[in-house]
Chains A and B, each alone.
Chain A
Amino acid sequence: MKNLEMRQVYTKTILALAEKDQKVVVLEADLASSMGTSKLKEQLGKSYINVGIMEAEEMGVAAGLAVTGFTPFIHTFAPFATRRSFDQVFLSLGYAKNHAVIVGTDPGVTAEMNGGTHMPFEDVALMRVIPGNHIYEVSDPYQFKAILEYAHTAKGLFYIRTIRKQATSLYKGEEDFSKGYVKLKEGTAGTIFASGIMVEEALQAATDLERLGISVQVIDLFRIKPMNEEIVIEAAKMGPIVTAENHNVIGGLGSAVAEIVTENHPVKMKRIGVKEQFGQVGKLEYLKEVYGLKAADISKAMVGLLE
């Protein structure tokens, strides 16, 4: 798994699921070339459906397939899976209580050259307001595989946010992902909660803080909804919290953590993420700088809270 791109993990996992379960069906909206799902087309045959460039219909077809007992796995770019087809996702899938798994790719600045039109800083915020659904932002191939497998057997609406390309390997494949978080580094002075590509930055920030004599814990909080309240409250009791996300600070990981913290154990917090900005074209490292998504932004925030 280590060298696999996330899109390869998707294909491989879905193929394994489809082998065991003939009710697995895959929907694509003319992004198979981007997702590299040609193997799915070859091997799943009729159970692979490319609807064309019509995301609203993609969600509707998924709903109908779910009604007839299928488990649809739906892929499109994250902005089209959420803001473009939001009412369809909300009603035909969420409100109608259909079991479906939506995989939204290239979240936030990872859309790079596709630029602002394709750069979702708001997908998690939108999805969070759908009652009863599940939201994940994955950071690692093993984690992505485990969550796809869980989403297949569980019931309800799933939204999984992932990059398409190779992710930094964080896990060995032996971890327990059932609690919705993994503690990657122990610490005593405070907590950094991060998800997706920001986990790597959070770990770097913790290392940098260590040099300054500050010990913080780093937690990959990949299940954004339902969020594990216990770990957030536990962290709040320990000290200040910094959240780090490749998303608008409104409505995403940081907001979700803040809601739990303020209602249960108020503590100083800082949210690292995109602020009141639209996306733009750029390479990943450039965009991380521009939007303040670097390890330095995280460590600076933590130092500020501890002062």
Chain B
Amino acid sequence: MDTQKFADQIRYYTMKELDNLGFGHFGGSLSIVETLAVLYGKVMNVSPEKKDDPDRDYFVLSKGHAGPALYATLFLKGYFDEAFLFNLNQNGTNLPSHPDRIKTPGVDMTTGSLGQGISAATGIAKGNQLLGKENFTFAIVGDGELNEGQCWEAFQFAAHQKLDHLIVFIDDNKKQLDGYTTDICDPFDFVEKMQAFGFNSWRVDGGNVDAIEAAIDQAKEIKGKPAAIVLDTVKGQGVPYLEELADNHHIRPDEAAKTAIKKAIVTLAEKIEVNS
């Protein structure tokens, strides 16, 4: 399938999921949609049938609050049905805000306490390296998440262990809960930082599926070093109303926002040719 169309589908179901719930992490879920589409639509060797295949690829969503986008992706990949998807955050749910490897089919690692997912991803990559496997471990960390010191522990470990089958994406959407990353704890230049930490690193347009795919191809070629792809993204990506909303990390929509969200869902439905 066309990767951009897959991204539009993920965006549509992410919006539906959160709209159904009435509130949630719209901003940071939407900014990683294109990356998820490339990973699950094009790059990763994963499927519900291959969940026990030791050679399959692994994915860790370290910025666990973007769970809804991952869930939409896993639903579209056939890990569970649509009814399961709309169980997001309901009482007794198996689809909690933050990913849970025990509860949700297709989730490789439990995440949510920021910084911990990337550590586990380095462990998964190390495990596969010990097993002599060629499969890849992909992880998405948030730009705000990189405030956490544990991330930098993980990067030191990954570089030292030469985890060249670990590909880290930094979702540089420029905002964290309390505002712009530059105002809260200036991250300076992620690419320079990651290079200094022993990674191969470069910046790509995180809204462009072809650019993301090309970056992954490039990252896979690198031997002896892990790769960090800095995704230039926008919080609320692909939904103009949310992109322009100042406070768009966790949204509890007012009437105007509700209307805009419903309208965006209709537009996305038309784009992917489903009934909204």
Contacts and interface: CB of A to CB of B under 8 A. Distances in A.
Bound pair (A, B) = yes
Interface of A: 25, 46-47, 49, 51-52, 54, 56-57, 59-70, 87-88, 91-92, 95-97
B157 A68 contact: no
Interface string B100-123: 111000001110110110111111
Contacts of B115: 56
B130 A92 contact: no
If over half of A's interface residues share one DSSP class (helix, strand or loop), that class is named, otherwise mixed; here it is helix
Contacts of B121: 64
B102 A96 contact: yes
B110 A60 contact: no
Contacts of B149: 56
Contacts of A67: 58, 101, 108-109, 120, 123-124, 127
Contacts of A70: 127, 130
Contact of A54 (B113, B127, B153): B153
B119 A60 contact: yes
B126 interface: yes
Given A57-B154, A92-B119, A87 B109 contact: no
Nearest to B109: A67
A52 B156 contact: yes
Given A59-B119, A60-B122, A60-B150, A96 B130 contact: no
Contact of A95 (B110, B124, B150): B110
A252 B47 CA distance: 46
Interface in B135-158: 149-150, 153-154, 156-157
B101 A96 contact: yes
Given A59-B119, A62-B123, A67-B109, 14 more contacts: A47-B130, A57-B119, A60-B116, A60-B122, A61-B120, A61-B126, A63-B119, A64-B123, A64-B127, A65-B126, A68-B131, A91-B110, A96-B100, A96-B109
A52 B158 CA distance: 12
Nearest to A54: B153
A68 B116 contact: no
Contact of B120 (A51, A54, A87, A92): A92
Contacts of A63: 109, 116, 119-120, 123
A56 B118 CA distance: 11
A54 B156 contact: yes
Contacts of A92: 109-110, 116, 119-120
B97 to A, nearest CB: 14
Contact of B127 (A57, A68, A95, A96): A68
Contacts of A25: 130
B250 to A, nearest CB: 20
